[in-house]
Structure 1
Amino acid sequence: MPADRKPGDKKAFDGEQLVEATVDGVQDTALTETRRNQICDAALELFLQKGFDSTTIRDICASSGVNQASIYDYIANKNDILRRLLNKLWFRPDVPTLAERLEQHTDTSFKDNVAGYFRDTWSKKRKGTLLIYRSVPYLQEEDRRAMRARDQAVIQALAAQLRKKARLHEQDRRAEVLANMIVFLGAFAPMRDWLHQDIDDELILNTVTAGVAAMLNQLAETGPSAD
């Protein structure tokens, strides 16, 4: 079995994605890609249905059609599968953060940028959101640190944009609170599917977006914090 990264490996995160194990048991890159996709697709559904801890490599092999004797030619272990899934579903380059949207679309209103952010996050990252929230207890410690570091960077970048929008001073921590809330709301629709299945998606989107815009307006109206 190929060796996975050692606990505490400082290269758990390359600045863009979690670092996946190097597995080169098969030289045919096309075949490797096909088999990894089969394995990851099967594992995703099992992780969401049964949970990460309750899913075995045997389960993944049975569901993916990849022989148990050869699966380690394509992945290192179950945690390696999880990293690959998070890279594919959570660290998606085609779903920009709200801070990136605000930088890229300066002619678009704040409210419309927020709506676009939630629309993409709630749809394209839906399964990734469910996966991350259900698998956090089982992440390797270095992966947990990497995920936390990335979230903190995302929040700080968004807070800086919010301060500009609301004309707040650089030390106003309320911008960080609002940024954290917006990131948290990025998980609202996927995590609450079981409660609002009878509510129109656009109604949910418009309501949450209006709330975020109102919070920013309130900060702008009250001015810089005295703290």
Structure 2
Amino acid sequence: MASGRKNIPSLVKDQKLVEKRREQIVEAAVELFISKGFHKTTTREIARASGFSIGTLYEYIESKEDVLYLVCDAIHTEVEKKMEEAMVESRTGAETLRHAIKGLFKVMDEVDDKVLLIYQEIKSLPSEPMQYVLRREEHITQVFERMLQKGIDDGSLQLDPESVKLMAHNIVVFGEMWTFRRWALRKHYTLDQYVEMQTSLLLNEFKPIKK
């Protein structure tokens, strides 16, 4: 279990069955939350879309907020998995970074509705689960911090170490921009064009440190 992950009680003791049923709930809830919004979606609608009765649904979760938490957790897991698949360990930190930027932007394109859902609805979570979801977001940024530091260490990136954290956030925000401003960006750029232009912009910002 990830550090700080909420333990959602279940009346069902078979953990494999719990995971399977919760996957069904998440899949159904994502579609409903995207189309109707969290607040306008009822637990009865989630149960029906999951193929359960309302009573069966409550054997696996305690509230609609639990469903939103499971949705956010599942989306972050999907993003992290796709990033890991996309990242090719190359000879230098700069090369690894280039692969990872492309991977992140591609993932954002594939799960754009889900990423938008997290940012629109996370405020509806109670404090502790919300902090956990935000830590999952921070974890993605930390992946880029490690790559940037690797580039500094092997000499392939000339970057002030104090700028690493901010630059990692810049990369993630550039990826998320493809989701948040898709209504404008996709009128003018393909995903490949966006990846190439933003990667060039990011890498061009890695200037030698002035002595």
Q: Provide closer, same or farther for how the CA distance between residues 54 and 106 of structure 1 changes in structure 2, counting only shifts above 3 A.
A: farther
Look up the match of 1:213: 200
Note the alpha carbon deviations across 1:17-71, whole angstroms, 9 max, x for none. 84341313364844x4443333222211111111112212122123333111221
Alignment equivalent of 1:166, drawn from 124, 140, 157: 157
Q: Provide closer, same or farther for how the CA distance between residues 225 and 65 of structure 1 changes in structure 2, counting only shifts above 3 A.
A: farther
Q: Contact 1:122–1:189 at 8 Å: present in 2 too? A: yes
Paired letter, 1:166: L
Q: Contact 1:43–1:81 at 8 Å: present in 2 too? A: yes
Q: Provide closer, same or farther for how the CA distance between residues 144 and 36 of structure 1 changes in structure 2, counting only shifts above 3 A.
A: closer
Look up the match of 2:33: 47
Q: In the alignment, is residue 194 of structure 1 matched against residue 183 of structure 2?
A: yes
Q: Provide closer, same or farther for how the CA distance between residues 154 and 23 of structure 1 changes in structure 2, counting only shifts above 3 A.
A: same
Q: Match of 2:77, SS?
A: coil
Alignment equivalent of 1:118, drawn from 105, 113, 135: 105
Q: Provide closer, same or farther for how the CA distance between residues 65 and 162 of structure 1 changes in structure 2, counting only shifts above 3 A.
A: same
How many residues were matched structurally?
Answer: 203
- Give distance in 2, aligned partners of 1:204 and 1:109: 20
> How many percent of aligned residue pairs carry the same amino acid?
23
Q: Provide closer, same or farther for how the CA distance between residues 176 and 225 of structure 1 changes in structure 2, counting only shifts above 3 A.
A: farther
Q: Provide closer, same or farther for how the CA distance between residues 160 and 94 of structure 1 changes in structure 2, counting only shifts above 3 A.
A: closer
Look up the match of 2:172: 183
Q: Provide closer, same or farther for how the CA distance between residues 160 and 71 of structure 1 changes in structure 2, counting only shifts above 3 A.
A: closer
- Give distance in 1, aligned partners of 2:101 and 2:32: 32
Q: Provide closer, same or farther for how the CA distance between residues 86 and 225 of structure 1 changes in structure 2, counting only shifts above 3 A.
A: farther
RMSD: 3.1
Unaligned runs of 5+ in 2: none
* Greater shift in the superposed pair: 18-27 or 83-92: 18-27
Query: Larger % of helix: which?
Result: 2
Look up the match of 1:90: 76
Q: Match of 1:187, SS?
A: helix
Question: CA shift at 1:74, angstroms?
Answer: 1.7
* Greater shift in the superposed pair: 109-118 or 130-139: 109-118
TM-score by length of 2: 0.77
Q: In the alignment, is residue 138 of structure 1 matched against residue 129 of structure 2?
A: no
Paired letter, 1:194: W
Q: Contact 1:96–1:117 at 8 Å: present in 2 too? A: yes
Q: Provide closer, same or farther for how the CA distance between residues 110 and 69 of structure 1 changes in structure 2, counting only shifts above 3 A.
A: closer
